Amino acid sequence: MKKFMGMIAALVLVLLLPMVASAQNDSSHINKVRKEIGRELIEMNQTNWQYLLQYYTDDIEYHDPIVDISGIGEMTGFLARLFGSSPDLITTIEDESCINDIYTATWTMTGNFAGVPYDAKGMSIIKFRPKDTQAYFQRDYYTEGDVMINIPGLDEAVGGFRYFYRCAVDPTFPGPCEF
């Protein structure tokens, strides 16, 4: 009887395994399409941003360290102002994946914001609803300090904070910690 019960348990496990391990991989057809769309949304620029609005849902939710957007109207206004203030903004994808309705990418962003040059590394998460290719959520992560470091008056504050933080947490910090 024990042997029979063991065989039934093994059979149930084999039958249930596909349901437990149902993660869509990075190479499924829909995730290939989403990866292309995600890449276009992250590498958006002055010349194509209006065209790419079609890949956002009407209720798009967007967040970055400074801005919170709700809806396609606010997103349109945000992008218009972003590319109006930084028309040479270039974002280059470094690494990306799309699994289970979520696109993620690491990137480098460069440009001039109101005449001030910047260079920042970051990452983005874009979410799609099941079986859909329009993004309903996007969050961009980067440090504002990478943008502010070149702005006179803010450069000292950013440098001071980075010194204080590194001194407080980095065991390899070479200098004395003076606050």
String of DSSP letters for 45-101: -TTTHHHHGGGEEEEEEEE-SS-EEESHHHHHHHHHHHHHH-TT-EEEEEEEEEETT
pLDDT digits (tens), the chain, 179 positions: 566 445 454 444 445 444 444 445 666 899 999 999 999 999 999 999 999 999 999 999 999 999 999 999 999 999 999 999 999 999 999 999 999 999 999 999 999 987 889 899 999 999 999 999 999 999 999 998 888 888 888 889 999 888 988 888 998 988 788 76
pTM of the model: 0.79
Domain assignment present for residue 42? The answer is: yes
Residue type, 50: Q
pLDDT at 32: 94
Q: Give me the domain span that covers residue 117.
A: 22-143
Backbone dihedral angles phi then psi of residue 157, each to the nearest 5 degrees: -65, -45
DSSP 18: H
Q: How many domains are contained in the chain?
A: 1
Domain assignment present for residue 68? The answer is: yes
pLDDT at 39: 98
CATH number of the domain where residue 38 is located: 3.10.450.50
Domain assignment present for residue 113? The answer is: yes
pLDDT at 21: 43
What is residue 41's three-state secondary structure?
Answer: helix
Domain assignment present for residue 91? The answer is: yes
Domain assignment present for residue 90? The answer is: yes
pLDDT at 16: 47
Domain assignment present for residue 178? The answer is: no
pLDDT at 24: 56
